[in-house]
Amino acid sequence: MYGDDATIRRILTELGDTWAVVGLSANERRAAYGVSRVLQRFGKRIVPVHPKAETVHGERGYASLADIPFDVDVVDVFVNSELAGPVADEAVAKGARAVWFQLGVVDPAAYERIRTAGLEMVMDRCPAIEIPRLG
């Protein structure tokens, strides 16, 4: 398992409330759209990151993590597993404190690189499922 309950709790409650959501667009049918709404309901500031740089849920979007002109705490990754590793590396370069790979996003080599870089990381889990479990 890539991310135990203690790590999940730390990311969701201690590491900061600004979440860059990579893969978030205005497409309401995509999982990122609904999950980011849940994150907002639980007090997180979401920052859409998508090539279209659309405004989503009232938050301005950016084409890449590097384009965001402020710090982000957590990078939540909704891209295909083949693309997730480079996004995780960008999160390290951006200075994020944690990386979260969504359900179905799996890259064990990226997980090891991110942990070695000193960031918290969860893989193949969903914060919209985990937040309510915190109680």
pLDDT tens digit at each of 135 positions of the chain: 688 899 999 999 999 999 999 999 999 999 999 999 999 999 999 999 999 999 999 999 999 999 999 999 999 999 999 999 999 999 999 999 999 999 999 999 999 999 999 999 999 999 999 998 886
Measured over the CA atoms of residue 50, residue 46, residue 105 and residue 2, the dihedral's sign is positive
Angle between helices 108-116 and 81-94 (to 10 degrees): 10
**pTM of the full predicted structure?**
0.96
Comparing C-alpha atoms, which of 71, 88, 89, 65 is closest to residue 15? 71
**Residues contacting 74, CB < 8 A, separation 6+:** 11, 15, 16, 18, 19, 20, 96, 97, 98, 99, 100
- What does the DSSP 8-state code read for residue 134? T
